Amino acid sequence: MKNTIKKLAASAKAMTLTLILVAASSAAALAQDDKAWTTIGSVGAVDESGQMVFTDNIAYLDSDSAVIRYNVVAVDGLFNDGLPAAFPRMTVRFRDNGSNNRVIVRLKRAPIEGGNSTTLLKLDSNDYAGSSSFQTQSVTACGDDAFSFDFANYAYYIEVTMSRTALPVTPGLASIKIDLSGNCIALP
């Protein structure tokens, strides 16, 4: 009887320790999500060839096309820090009414020691149904496309290309978020 009680007590201790570890790792994952890199549409640097109108946090295209760039800086939420599988994810809030507009958002990295930039993630509004309202969509780097951020050797930036062929609805960009996702969602 004593051996059974000892076994039950040891089992209860092991279960309690397991629950504490699970809770701690869940809390760490949630805290990680709070440390994502974010920006609003109106703070980007507009290429001189295009024109934009900024209203509150939103960048609206005010010419046939434009390119806007956003600097991505190192934040805790971009590093795995021992969490189980985490995949870089980019979430974009944009407006594209369909065949007359297009918004392409690319996460790029450039080697600090020189070399060409490469595209790591790409969200193309043509991959989603057009809407005169803003919509939020995400892309995740999975499988062979997965990568880890390395700010010691690379600089990272977002390049947004907006274009339109007709009015009255013009494309817009409200926000961009980069974080790590525990889910591997295939790119469209």
Does position 13 have pLDDT exceeding 80, yes or no?
no
Q: Which CATH architecture has domain 37-181?
A: Sandwich (2.60)
pLDDT number for residue 123: 96
State how far the Cα of 75 lies from the Cα of 32, in Å rounded to an integer: 10
Say if pTM beats, i.e. exceeds, 0.85: no
Residues 6 or more apart whose CB falls under 8 angstroms from that of 33 comprise: 77, 179, 180
State how far the Cα of 23 lies from the Cα of 31, in Å rounded to an integer: 12
Q: For residue 41, which phi and psi values (nearest 5 degrees)? A: -60, -35
CB 173 within 8 A of CB 92: yes
pLDDT number for residue 34: 64
The amino acid sitting at 156 is Y
pLDDT number for residue 91: 94
| Band (146; pLDDT cuts 50, 70, 90) | confident
Which range in 10-14, 52-56, 100-104 is most confidently predicted, on average pLDDT? Answer: 100-104
> Which two structure tokens, joined as six digits, stand for 143?
């499988």
The number of beta carbons lying within 10 Å of the beta carbon of residue 122 is 17
Peptide linkage before 168 cis (omega within 30 of 0): yes
Does position 188 have pLDDT exceeding 90, yes or no?
no
Does position 81 have pLDDT exceeding 70, yes or no?
no
pLDDT number for residue 135: 95
First-to-last alpha carbon distance for the chain, in angstroms, is: 61
Does position 23 have pLDDT exceeding 60, yes or no?
no
Mean pLDDT of the chain: 79
Q: How many residues does the chain have?
A: 188
More confident residue, 39 or 6: 39
pLDDT number for residue 24: 37
More confident residue, 146 or 90: 90
pLDDT number for residue 107: 96
pLDDT number for residue 27: 39
- Mean pLDDT to the nearest integer, 15-41: 51
> Which two structure tokens, joined as six digits, stand for 181?
């996702």
Residues 6 or more apart whose CB falls under 8 angstroms from that of 14 comprise: none
Q: For residue 42, which phi and psi values (nearest 5 degrees)? A: -80, 0
